[in-house]
Structure 1
């Protein structure tokens, strides 16, 4: 009955080389990651540990064979690409043709936004540093999801859930929620269809790239509900819900509501609180239709023949969430303030979307972008297929502080915020204190030369006098916190001392 759970985000950034539209994006992405790593003393030997990863395990009870998998699904293979573990517990790496930042594990929606925003600074600085290399024409990174040539790249979310929750219940209750939540957290896009060939504006950047309801894929035949069963934690207790249907948000409020409302819906599913009645007749068709109508008037068909708008779907989930939280809970909720805040903001946003979406031009990405675009259209008499509007769309997501339109809106006080620049700067180097990310990050801060590798669920040390590497498992995401191990880092100057204290040797 709370927004609190272990969760995080992964964002692939768009990248381009100035004056070189056909440049190798994998090379450019590698330059961004390596430039940041080199400038911040992260060129240590520590590597990412792929040993425990299994991206082809399906929540429906089977493993996809490697010979049938698309190469992009084989995320457990070390391809030798740039891959850095940051002292804030995050991972900065090259995912095929894009630089990607995976946040450390967090327990509240606000913290996810905080460490995702820290990732924006990391990526921006990496691009700046790479652009300063001799002979570099300059690299640009964008927090967006499409290149308008038919390609899309992800902004994924991860939520830890109880293993005993039937996967069928997850599919039933999350599908209508995911189809409709874009009205709150869509990033907005000029152009429709995957290649942007159809003139117009739509709410979501990613919607047109989803083709099936349920599946394991992430790059082909993308599903609304992804079935990857790779918990990065004790598999007997936990399931990691890997959500691939969200947009990359720059608005702090949109990102906060995306994580917070989803966490509440998952809590209701875990508690068996939700009942049926909102199943969509054609979820993929509904997803596209809702995205293509920024007036929010489109009604989609339910299984029982009724029709309903995206706003009404969201209202239904909100009303149930409010009743769910009102029931109370056992014990004290350390995130009670955020739980109430998410409910209040959710209600306020849905109310104003129903009255006039433009009231939210300073809170939601798609509305802010639409407002900018409409001002250009009115001033210059532009049709939706005009090239200038596509450039405005792209410039909204530009990570350069002096060029990005979102950044300019923030500086002008035209976008509301949740966070301060000071706390974002701190999160660039410091991990959350209430998850295992604290242990991972502090190991890299205190004993960088002794950490041979790390992953979400372990830290591996190379200790003097040992013939083999020594692994410390971190399978429980809520252990390894500052409260749990903070005193150990204060007491031990060496990794050997820390290892002996933890293992009792």
Structure 2
């Protein structure tokens, strides 16, 4: 498969911290957070002009699903755009809460577990060919994903329990996985979800829904996360020999690997052989290198992905985490936590370190510790602020571009409409509903013809004052270059 679209859905943690007493409960806080969205779209589940989807998920978790992206840099920028949009909503929620007589701050965290131990996800979606043999895919993909946490885990300070001491782990999500492969999502939390909703031509494509990943703050971590997974999928799809790494007990293995930061924990392969996570990842890395040498790099970032993959394996294997402590989230955070512990003479069981862990994921650009480290030059990046701002208001050059054009034009004309990942409909023209099954198509004469029925678009798509729209409390991504004259109603959740 030469081309692939990838998207990521991120659930955010949400909390209100008043100066005294208890904060607002999650459901009420979520209503404050999404009030501008509901005022704008008469729904807490909307598609927006950059082609992405913004909604409240089960448990009052705000969630952002990027548009489908065919370029890794577009995906990284789209992911950060969602983070920035959520931050703007949180700032507005805090203002409205104060106006209603409540003090305190609103915290929005891009992490995967709250202080009570509840978990929420960061789900990856990869378009794969319908012809892919799923049994072979799962046999290779599960071992890769179980051990991928040593590459791209978010890291976690794990509090002490009756049977183990406080310590540092690779992953926030690993302890909350209960099955290897399943059609469920919240009930059993499988590593890979098999629900067959391709949002494309089902005769040619299926959607691989990966639930196991940790949310990434670092764009460099994200590049390795999506880039390495894409390479493994390409090897599977091409039918090249990869080897037998199938695990006897994936769920036992994912926990075992996560809690051994030395990287020496072993997993048992079917047949009895035991390997460390590093050995398994190195085995897949060498095959990926050979695959690229024989078939060529399918995008310009492949060499960077392979270099990060190899360097991270070396860092885990040697224990020299300084090799990656500006590039990989778990190592960046580990260095920060260790610096604080050394400065104050405290151990892993000190509650302050758990607070540092949480604050690392605060999306507030002035308050979040990841952003503080970035300002101090202690983290690397592969995208810049301009790319993020662009992604907030501009869809990637995929089907999302048509979705964005449809949404912005219909709004400008005050035309009631509904959209989802595939369907585009003007409410007063239900027989003209257009299905876009090709996620790579960023031009379509049918969309153009339908929008032309509304009138002269050039006279309607006039920019409003950014200052005026900011005063309305609506995030930039919902307003820039677009009028707010008509709502958009999303179909029921599709992802």
TM-score w.r.t. length of structure 2: 0.84
The corresponding residue for 2:347 is 383
| Residue 444 of structure 1 pairs with residue 445 of structure 2 | no
1:199 equivalent in structure 2: 166
Q: Taking structure 1 as reference, are residues 21 and 371 closer, same or farther at Cα in structure 2, changes over 3 Å only?
A: farther
| 1:301-450 alignment runs, 5 A limit | 301-328=268-295, 335-355=298-318, 356-433=320-397, 435-448=398-411, 449-450=414-415
Q: Secondary structure at the match of 2:433?
A: strand
Q: Which residue of 2 aligns with 1:161?
A: 128
Partner of 2:244: 277
Bigger mean CA offset, 291-300 vs 271-280: 271-280
CA distance in 2, matches of 1:99, 1:371: 29
Where structure 2 has 5 or more consecutive residues not aligned to the other structure, the ranges are 458-495
Describe the superposition over 1:259-283 as per-residue Cα deviations: whole angstroms up to 9, x where unpaired: 1110111111111224442111221
TM-aligned CA distance change 1:397 to 1:131, over 3 Å: same
Sort the Cα spacing of 1:26 and 1:494 in 2 relative to 1 into closer, same or farther, 3 A. farther
Please give the secondary structure, in 1, of the residue aligned with 2:300: helix
Residue 10 of structure 2 is matched in structure 1 by: 11
Deviation at 1:413, TM superposition (A): 0.9
Counterpart of 2:435 in structure 1 is 473
SS at match of 2:354: helix
Structure 1, residues 151-209: CA drift from partner, whole Å, max 9, x if none? 10000000011112122112101011001110111001111699998621111000001
Q: 1:193 to 1:150 in 2, by over 3 A?
A: farther
What runs of 5+ residues in structure 1 fail to find an aligned partner?
A: 46-80, 499-505
What is the RMSD of the two structures over their aligned residues, measured on CA atoms?
2.5
1:115 aligns with 2:82: no
Q: Deviations over 1:294-337 (max 9, x none)?
A: 121212221222221111111111111111122226xxx7x531
For 1:298 and 1:89, locate their aligned partners in 2 and report how far apart those are by CA, in whole Å. 42
Separation in structure 2 between the aligned mates of residue 162 and residue 383 of structure 1, nearest angstrom: 49
Q: Alignment partner for residue 84 of structure 1, among 46, 53, 60?
A: 46
1:130 equivalent among 75, 89, 93 = 93
Aligned twin of 2:263: 296
* SS of residue paired to 2:178: strand
How do residues 236-247 of structure 1 correspond to structure 2 at under 5 angstroms?
A: 236-247=203-214
Larger displacement relative to structure 2 (115-124 or 28-37)? 28-37
Summarize deviations over 1:401-431 as a string: whole Å, max 9, x none. 1210000011111110011101101111110
Aligned partner of residue 166 in structure 2, secondary structure: strand
The superposition leaves residues 74-101 of structure 1 with CA deviations (integer Å, 9 ceiling, x where unpaired) of: xxxxxxx611211100001100220000
Secondary structure at the residue paired with 1:327? helix
Separation in 1, partners of 2:236, 2:357: 36
- Does structure 1 residue 211 correspond to structure 2 residue 211? no
Identify the residue that residue 31 of structure 1 maps to in structure 2: 32
After superposition, the Cα gap between the structure-2 partners of 1:422 and 1:37, relative to the gap in structure 1 and judged at 3 Å, is: farther
| Residues 1:44 and 1:311: Cα distance change in structure 2 (over 3 Å) | same
Alpha carbons of 1:169 and 1:388: their partners in 2 closer, same or farther (altered >3 Å)? same
